[in-house]
Structures are given as C-alpha cells and as structure tokens.
Amino acid sequence: MPVVVEVAKPSSKKRKAKWWDRLHDTVYSLCERSLSGLGPPAWQGDEVMKTIEAPDTLILCASAPSAPGAEGAGMAGCAVCEYSEECKTLFVVYLCVAARHRRSGVGSALMASVEHLARALDCGSLELMCNSDNGAAMSFYAKLGMTAGDPDLADRVLFTKELL
C-alpha cells in the first residue's frame, strides 16, 4: 500500500485539539534525537503550536502501512508549511518522518505533495531551512532539485526551489 498524503487544516477547536495531540506526539517522536545523542530539538512545543495555529499555515499529513506484525497504519510524517501570498512562497517550517518510515518514500511523498500544493497556490518558490550539520537532509533536499544557499549565523542553510 502506498504512502497517502493529505492536507489537513482543522477548523473547529475540538478537531484542532485532537489534531494537535496527534501532531505534537508525532513531531516530538520524529524529532527525537536520543539515538544520535544530539540532545532535544531546538524548538519548543509552544513554537510548534503557534505555527500550526497561524492563519497562513498548511499542514500535510502522511500515513503509510506498518510492517507486517506491527500495529496498523498511522501518521508516518508531516510537513508544516507557511504560505506567503504576498511573496508567493511556500516555506516548509517542519518536515518530519517517523524513524520506522524513513527511507521508504514518506519524505519524498510529503515533499512532492508540498511542491504540488505550492504550484496549485501559484507560488514562485518553495523554501525551507536545514541545519548545516544534517548531511542526510541536505542530500535529500538537493536530490529533490532544491538549491542550497550559504549557512547563516546559526549554521542553517536556506534551500530554495524555483517553481516558475
């Protein structure tokens, strides 16, 4: 069964609370760095919540089947994006894939859906920031046709893909 990606933007507070619980748990588990010993993620849950609740935020959720014998399908990853109508840019704030779903096409499916959404919104570019010490992610974005800029003072690299 293939990866399924859908845009989700809850409209009611009740749905938003349920969605936040799912997304919060997923983002934290996806960004957990216990195996690499790099410590906790740099962002805080409050920042994630502010991003999710912003009016120009779009959330894409990916689900994928689990391995045989594992629990059923669930959220395999998510992309949290900010849309700027003025700049005609879609900025990927968070792209997270569950460890058990990495290297299975979930990240590629999410980014393909993000790009499709950006084109549907008539965006001129797709952008995201990546830590310069995250070689795997930097290689992944380059393979998607994104161009890396120079690192900023916080050692983050802006990746851009022109869409027009």
Say how far apart CA 145 and CA 164 lie, in whole Å. 14
Domains and CATH numbers, the chain: 4-125 (3.40.630.30)
Predicted local confidence at residue 94, as pLDDT? 85
Among 3, 15, 89, smallest CA distance to 52 is for 15
Q: What is the pLDDT of residues 55-74, one digit of tens each?
A: 788 888 888 876 554 444 56
Residue 86: pLDDT over 80? yes
> Model pTM?
0.79
What pLDDT shows up at residue 33?
34
pLDDT tens sequence across 9-30 = 555 455 556 666 666 565 555 5
Q: What is the pLDDT of residue 99?
A: 77
CB 132 within 8 A of CB 150: no
